[in-house]
Copies of this chain bind each other. A is one copy, B any other.
Amino acid sequence: ADAAAMALARERQDRLTKPPGSLGVLEDIGVRLAGAAAACPPPMPGPAALAIFAADHGVHAQGVTPWPQEVTAQMVANFLAGGAVANAFAAQVGATVTVVDVGVAADLPAAPGLVSRKIARGTADLSRGPAMTADQAVAAVEAGITVGLDLVARGAGCLLTGDMGIANTTASAALICAFTGSDPERATGAGTGVDAAGLARKVGVVRRALEVNGLTGGAPGPVDPVRVLAAVGGLEHAAIAGFVLAAAASRVPVILDGVIAGAAALAAAALAPDCVGYCVAGHRSAEPGHAVALRHLGLRPLVELDLRLGEGTGALLAYPLVGAAARVLREVATFDSAGVTDK
């Protein structure tokens, strides 16, 4: 991100016809958008393109969720038919929806809006060994990069992350522990709905995954992000990490959705720390690991409504707020130009 444009944006915020600082967090978002575009005022962050990366998880076998694995493929069909919450929210904010199969454990018929980049039919069980090979993880990162660059080439001015993958909050918790050194107890949540016994089992699965894959001990030194992704990540996590890198390389902001995106952004940040400057935290989900990830990334979320759905829904809700932050720098009069007395 461009430090000069950020300084200009900060200085401009204080000359606009509003008390200094009175737009709170949105002032920081405006500065971030200016830094991403290396321009003040920044361009409007749009049009918006949501990519929902879908994949399955071998750890599903450990009973970490009450939902059957087949729901991943069924929800892909629901996205393509326009019937999911992500579709409704995308319609609300004027975003396009692209669904990317990076690892669904079923054959998906070709359909408009579906990009097939299947790398495997789901991952292996991360609680018994690495979820993927290093080659698979790299291929998934590359798939995410390609999808991101493609959307920007077709005109997108803002990328939004989405995900679908039954059991993927378990992989997210493991990634967050590996990258931040957090304990599984603190980073693991109920996801889309396990009970107390299920949560305890899930914490145990995450702990075992870290042990089996040699990732315990609080990330004492620099970790190899591809090794971590391969060991305890999902194909959609790796792809979202690549998608974030594509946004940064294109100087386009990327709005992160929930805990899956937060875990993926940790991997992206480990690969290329500067990419965090292009990230906006769309929301904070009800998953406790998400707050851990955002704190590690230094990002403050825009929307805090106890969402725990995924799909990109939190990123979509945040998108108009990001647009509003850009408009402040682009459209609001200064004290001088409006003839308003400064205090």
Q: Please report A residues at the B interface, Cβ cutoff 8 Å.
A: 16-26, 66-68, 70-71, 74-75, 77-78, 81-85, 87-89, 91-93, 192-193, 286, 302-309, 313, 316-317, 320-321, 323-324, 327-328, 330-333, 337-341, 343
Chain B residues with CB below 8 A from A74, complex form? 338-341
16 contacts between A and B (CB under 8 A): A22-B192, A22-B193, A23-B313, A77-B339, A78-B338, A78-B340, A81-B338, A82-B331, A83-B332, A88-B330, A88-B331, A92-B324, A92-B327, A93-B320, A93-B324, A305-B321
Which residues of chain B have C-beta atoms less than 8 A from A25's C-beta?
305-306
Q: Do residues B88 and A309 form an inter-chain contact, with CB atoms below 8 A?
A: no
Give which listed residue, B92, B309, B317, contacts A22 with CB less than 8 A: B309
Q: Are A84 and B17 in contact (CB-based, < 8 A)?
A: yes
Minimum CB–CB distance for A95 against chain B, Å: 12
Q: A286: nearest residue on chain B (CB-CB)? A: B24
CB-based contact A321/B317 at 8 Å: yes
Chain B, Cβ-Cβ closest to A191? B19
Chain B residues within 8 Å of A82, by CB:
331
For residue A323, which residue of chain B has the nearest CB? B92
Determine whether the beta carbon of A85 is less than 8 Å from that of B340.
no
Task: Kindly list the 9 A-B residue pairs having the minimum CB-CB distance in the complex, ordered from nearest.
Answer: A83-B333, A24-B306, A19-B192, A88-B327, A22-B309, A25-B305, A66-B343, A320-B320, A88-B331
List residues of chain B with CB within 8 A of the CB of A337: 83
- Tell me if B305 and A24 are in contact (CB < 8 A): yes
Contact between B83 and A17 (Cβ–Cβ < 8 Å)? Answer: yes
Closest approach, in angstroms, between the C-beta of A300 and any C-beta of chain B? Answer: 9
Report whether A67 and B343 are in contact in the complex, using a CB–CB cutoff of 8 Å.
yes
Flag if B331 contacts A87 (CB, 8 Å).
Answer: yes
Complex contacts, A308 vs chain B, CB 8 Å: 19, 21-22, 24
Q: For residue A175, give the distance in angstroms from its CB to the closest CB of chain B.
A: 21
CB-defined contacts of A330 to chain B, threshold 8 Å:
88
Q: A19-B309, A324-B88 are in contact. Are A333 and B26 (CB under 8 A)?
A: no
Cross-chain contact of A324 among B70, B317, B321 (Cβ < 8 A): B317
Query: Across the interface, which residues of B come within 8 angstroms of A18, CB to CB?
Result: 84-85, 309
Contacts of A81 in B (CB 8 A): 333, 338
Q: Nearest Cβ distance between residue A42 and chain B, in whole angstroms?
A: 14
Chain B nearest Cβ from A25, distance in angstroms = 4
Q: Are B23 and A309 in contact (CB under 8 A)?
A: yes
